[in-house]
Structure 1
C-alpha cells in the first residue's frame, strides 16, 4: 500500500504540483486522502495539489507588502517545477520592512514590483520565469520556462523579450534559458536532463522526437538526430505500473535495432549526480559518428 510519504515523493518527481487525478493514478485515492490529512500534500483548489512548503500564506505576503515570486510564483501559475524550495519565495519592494519572524518563514528577494503584482500577491508569468532564470541553476530554470510555455499562457517571443529587458545581473543566464525553452518538454525531469545535455559539447538534442518515420517506433524524450543518440529520462513515477514499463523496454529494443544509440538515466542520476550524467553523455558523443538514419 502506498504511504503518504511515498505520495509526497511522487508529487516531488512530478514537479511539486499536479492534478489530483494524475497523482491518484500513480498512487491511490486512499493514499492521497491520507497524505492531505497528514499535511504532507496540500490541496490548492481546481483539482490541483502541491507540496505544502511551496506556498506562503497570503497573510505573510501581505504583511511584507510583497508578492509570491520565483518558484512559489511558478506554482501559483500552475507550472511544474524541478526542485521544491526549502522555504516559500517572496519578493518585496526595496524599501520594504521585513521582520525577523517573516525572514525565518520565507526566502526574501528585494526588487521592484508593479501595483498589479502587489495587488495579486504574485509576480507575472514572464517576470516569474526571468526571476528563476537569473537566480537558479540552468536545469531548474529551464524546467520552469518549459512549463510556462507548455501552459500556453506565455509565448517564446514574450519570454525572450522579457529576458533581454531584465536587469544586467543574471541577464545572460535569463536569455539563455528563454532561448532554450521548449513547450514540447514533457515534464521537469526531462527538462533537467536536457539542461545537462545542452552543456555537452557536440550534442544537440530536441525533446519528444518521433522515431521510426513510416514505421513509427515511438517518441523519445531527447534526441540528437545527427548523431543518432536517444536519451531517456526514466522514473517509476512516469510508468506507474508494469504495463508502461514493459512497453518502454520493447520500444528501446526497437530503437536499438533501427540503429539508434539509446542511453537511459534515472531520476536520482539527474538530480543528485548531474556531473556523472554529463560525463556519460560526453563520452557517448566522443564515441559516436554522425548517423544516417532519420527520425
Structure 2
C-alpha cells in the first residue's frame, strides 16, 4: 500500500503527504523493513533509490535522467524499473551488467557529477528537459521548482546549448511549484498541448464561497481541471467537501472536469479528446464573465 502511494507520488514524498494517506505505524513499519528509505528530514523515497546508487557504483558510472532526479529528491512521472546509469563510451560491460541498468554512453567531467554518484542538479535538469517526453520532463521541472531549486532551473535554461536548447528553456519557464505532484504535472502537460486552452495551476477562484483553489484553471474559458484520486481523497468528509465545491463552481458557470489518475497517466488520448471537445464548445459559446483574481 505505502509503496504504491509513493510510486503514484513520483517515487519521493514528504512525511505530510504520506501521513495523509497511511498511518504512522505503517510508515514506521515500512522504514524498519527497508521498503521505504528516509532521504532527508521529512523526505522519503522508495528503496529502489538506494538500489540505484549501488548499481551505478557497481558499474563505475553515475545516475542520470530520472534516476538522478530521484537522487536529488525530485518526483518523476514513472519510477524507472532499472536505473539510468551513464558510463564512458569505451567501458566494456558484461551482459549481466548491461541488464542491471538502462545504460547511457556518456562521459561526465567531475564538475558535472555530485557525490561521485549522480549528475548535478543543473546537468540533470538539462538532460531531462532536453530528452524526456514533455509530460515526464514537466513532472521533473515542477518537482524541482516545488523543492525550491528555482536557481537550478534558471541555470538549466541558460546553460542549454545546441539541439533541444529552446525546448529546455521553454520547459524551465513552464515549471510551477504549485503543481502538487506528477499527476497534476502530467495533466497540465496534456492541457498545454490543446489549442485555445490556457490553464494555470492552483489558481484561486473567489467568485464562490468558500473560495476554491482547483488543480488547474482556465480563467478565460471558465474551465476547471481536477486531478482526482479516490485513494488520496476517498473518505466521506472529503467526498462531501469536494462535491459541494464542484457544485458551487458549476452553479457559478464553470465547467468542472475530473480526471482519474489511470486516464491521465495511461490514456492521455482520452483526456486530450475531452479537453479538445470542451475547449471547442466553450470557445464557440463564449464566456460573459471572468472570476475575480
- TM interval, shorter chain, is 0.7 to 0.9
Verify: 1:262 aligned to 2:259, yes or no. no
Cα distance between partner residues in 1 of 2:184 and 2:248: 21
| Cα distance change of structure 1 residues 280 and 58 upon mapping to structure 2, 3 Å threshold | closer
1:245 corresponds in structure 2 to 239
Cα distance between partner residues in 1 of 2:251 and 2:109: 56
1:192 corresponds in structure 2 to 186
| Cα distance change of structure 1 residues 16 and 58 upon mapping to structure 2, 3 Å threshold | closer
Say which of 63, 73, 82 aligns to 1:78.
73
Give the superposition deviation at 1:17. Answer: 0.9
Cα distance between partner residues in 2 of 1:94 and 1:120: 18
| Cα distance change of structure 1 residues 57 and 230 upon mapping to structure 2, 3 Å threshold | closer
Give 1:251-290 correspondences, 5 Å limit. Answer: 251-289=245-283, 290=286
Gaps of 5+ in 2: none
Give the superposition deviation at 1:215. Answer: 5.1
1:159 corresponds in structure 2 to 156
TM-score, normalised relative to structure 2: 0.88
Residue aligned with 2:257, SS: strand
Preserved contact between residue 192 and residue 198 of structure 2 (Cα < 8 Å): yes
| Cα distance change of structure 1 residues 121 and 235 upon mapping to structure 2, 3 Å threshold | same
Say which of 122, 126, 129 aligns to 1:126.
122
Preserved contact between residue 125 and residue 154 of structure 1 (Cα < 8 Å): no
Preserved contact between residue 42 and residue 49 of structure 1 (Cα < 8 Å): yes
Verify: 1:12 aligned to 2:20, yes or no. no
Residues matched between the structures, number: 287
Verify: 1:114 aligned to 2:131, yes or no. no
Give the superposition deviation at 1:147. Answer: 0.6
Residue aligned with 1:83, SS: coil
| Cα distance change of structure 1 residues 60 and 10 upon mapping to structure 2, 3 Å threshold | closer
1:3 corresponds in structure 2 to none
Verify: 1:149 aligned to 2:125, yes or no. no
Give 1:166-205 correspondences, 5 Å limit. Answer: 167-168=162-163, 170-205=164-199
TM-score, normalised relative to structure 1: 0.87
Preserved contact between residue 218 and residue 251 of structure 1 (Cα < 8 Å): yes
2:202 corresponds in structure 1 to 208
Cα distance between partner residues in 1 of 2:81 and 2:242: 34
Superposed CA RMSD: 2.3
1:102 corresponds in structure 2 to 97
